[in-house]
């Protein structure tokens, strides 16, 4: 495994997720594909919209904003790195990081602890359509109460890719031995991703898709040049692993597998992407988010731009379906292959790139603004 290639793929996954998020965020609540076309033209939204948002001073923003999806993804990454540096259990440290994210949303700066340096970045101290389940769940935890919900919303899966990015980094081993990931047992990676999603989303279909997504991304990062058939094989392997890890969740896992098998058949359909995605769902729940991302990944495995466009042009949760598609396909193509116009217009690009590099290094390093 080429270490430089793996770094490029980690950057690609984290930045790719942010690109999909920023591309889908302006159309998330339009409500129909017809409405998207009325605003952006016959092919829908195809480039990042840098004119969508007004700044507090009345001026126009010059970058395409990311939503809560990218915000929480960055806090997941910081939580993982904090766990290592502070000797804490990863799930506990990730939960602490989510509480810090909550402080950025509700303005409780006086109560903020500062383990996550990104919490002090002005752009991240803005509400970008945060999910009600995430806000409510984290407030419950922060108040010392036990959480009970049955949510399978996509607020878990849209933020957990860093678990794979951190865990898959190769560690050198003695000569004549294969290198292994920083988290060498992929079962542990799947469990941690599920646990990170379950912090706020407790229905099995709220966290099983996170485990499957993470399993696939981990494998993609171990393969310098994966093919679409490799991707499908990683899905099959993921099913088998989750069946072993969660034998009590056979019903939910069967539902997840069923929708993904449906997706793989739709890839060969002659219908348009919009029509096919409507048959999958709207992406507001995690299994649909992952299914739409898999559809776009398989159909456009060698075309990041077209995958992004397909992933957000529908009447559902466009930023989350775009984010998960970008996380997965970015781990295939790598950062360098992402079109430059996406990176140039992306808000917080330098921050996201810095966090990606820290995940690769396995430690938090000093951030300098506008580093690239």
Instruction: Go through the chain and tell me how many residues it has.
Output: 372
What pLDDT is attached to residue 372? 45
How does pLDDT run across 326-367, given as a tens digit for each residue? Answer: 999 999 999 999 999 999 999 999 999 999 999 999 999 999
Q: Which of 206, 196, 293, 222 is nearest to 9 (CA)?
A: 222
Q: Return the SS3 of 284.
A: coil
How does pLDDT run across 61-70, given as a tens digit for each residue? Answer: 679 999 999 9
Cα separation values, 135 from 28, 131, 251, Å:
19, 6, 28
Please give the Cα distance from 343 to 226 (Å, whole number): 23
Q: Which helix (H) or strand (E) holds 180?
A: strand 180-181
Q: Return the SS3 of 52.
A: coil
Its domain, for residue 322, covers 3-361
Please give the Cα distance from 133 to 336 (Å, whole number): 35
**259 found inside a domain:** yes
**45 found inside a domain:** yes
pTM to 2 decimals? Answer: 0.95
**341 found inside a domain:** yes
**366 found inside a domain:** no
- The residue written with tokens 């992406």 in the block is 283
Please give the Cα distance from 38 to 2 (Å, whole number): 46
Long-range contacts from 25-31, C-beta under 8 angstroms, 24+ separation: 25/52, 25/64, 25/65, 25/66, 25/67, 25/128, 25/129, 25/318, 25/319, 26/52, 26/64, 27/312, 27/313, 27/318, 28/67, 28/129, 28/317, 28/318, 28/319, 29/129, 30/315, 31/315
What pLDDT is attached to residue 200? 98
Residues ≥6 apart with Cβ < 8 Å to 129 = 25, 28, 29, 67, 68, 319
What pLDDT is attached to residue 62? 78
Q: Which of 81, 120, 83, 84 is nearest to 100 (CA)?
A: 120
**368 found inside a domain:** no
Number of domains in the chain: 1
What pLDDT is attached to residue 55? 54
- CA 4 to chain CA centroid, Å, is 22
**370 found inside a domain:** no
Burial (Cβ within 10 Å: 0-12, 13-18, ≥19) of residue 155? buried
CB 348 within 8 A of CB 356: no
Which letter, b or e, does each residue of 351-369 get, where b requires 16 or more Cβ atoms within 10 Å of its Cβ?
bbbbbbbbbbeeebeeeee
Q: What is the CATH number of the domain that holds 355?
A: 1.10.4080.10
Please give the Cα distance from 224 to 7 (Å, whole number): 11
Residues of the chain with pLDDT under 50: 58, 371-372
**369 found inside a domain:** no
CB 132 within 8 A of CB 149: no
């Amino acid at each position: 495994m080429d270490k430089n290639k793996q770094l490029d793929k980690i950057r690609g996954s984290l930045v790719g997720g942010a690109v999909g998020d920023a591309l889908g965020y302006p159309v998330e609540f339009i409500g129909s594909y017809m409405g998207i076309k009325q605003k952006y033209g016959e092919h829908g939204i195809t480039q990042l919209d840098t004119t969508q948002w007004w700044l507090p001073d009345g001026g126009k923003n010059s970058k395409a904003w990311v939503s809560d999806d990218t915000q929480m993804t960055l806090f997941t990454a910081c939580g993982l790195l904090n766990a290592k540096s502070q000797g804490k259990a990863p799930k506990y440290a990730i939960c602490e990081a989510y509480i810090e994210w909550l402080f950025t949303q509700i303005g409780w700066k006086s109560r903020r602890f500062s383990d996550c340096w990104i919490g002090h970045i002005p752009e991240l101290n803005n509400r970008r359509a945060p999910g009600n389940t995430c806000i409510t769940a984290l407030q419950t935890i922060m108040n010392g109460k036990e959480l009970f919900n049955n949510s399978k919303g996509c607020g878990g899966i849209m933020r957990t890719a860093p678990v794979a990015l951190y865990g898959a980094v190769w560690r050198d081993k003695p000569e004549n031995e294969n290198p292994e990931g920083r988290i060498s047992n992929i079962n542990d990676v799947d469990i941690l991703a599920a646990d990170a999603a379950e912090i706020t989303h407790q229905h099995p279909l709220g966290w099983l898709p996170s485990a499957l997504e993470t399993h696939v991304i981990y494998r993609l990062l171990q393969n310098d040049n994966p093919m679409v058939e490799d991707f499908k094989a990683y899905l099959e392997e993921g099913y088998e692993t989750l069946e072993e890890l969660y034998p009590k969740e056979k019903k939910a896992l069967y539902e997840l597998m069923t929708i993904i098998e449906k997706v793989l058949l739709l890839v060969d359909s002659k219908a348009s992407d919009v029509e096919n995605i409507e048959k999958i769902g709207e992406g507001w729940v995690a299994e649909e988010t992952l299914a739409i991302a898999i559809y776009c990944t398989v159909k456009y495995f060698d075309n990041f731009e077209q995958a992004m466009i397909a992933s957000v042009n529908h009447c559902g949760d466009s930023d989350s379906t775009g984010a998960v598609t970008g996380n997965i396909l970015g781990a295939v193509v790598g950062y360098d292959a992402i079109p430059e116009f996406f990176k140039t217009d992306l808000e917080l690009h330098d921050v996201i790139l810095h966090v990606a590099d820290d995940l690769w290094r396995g430690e938090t390093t000093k951030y300098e603004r506008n580093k690239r």
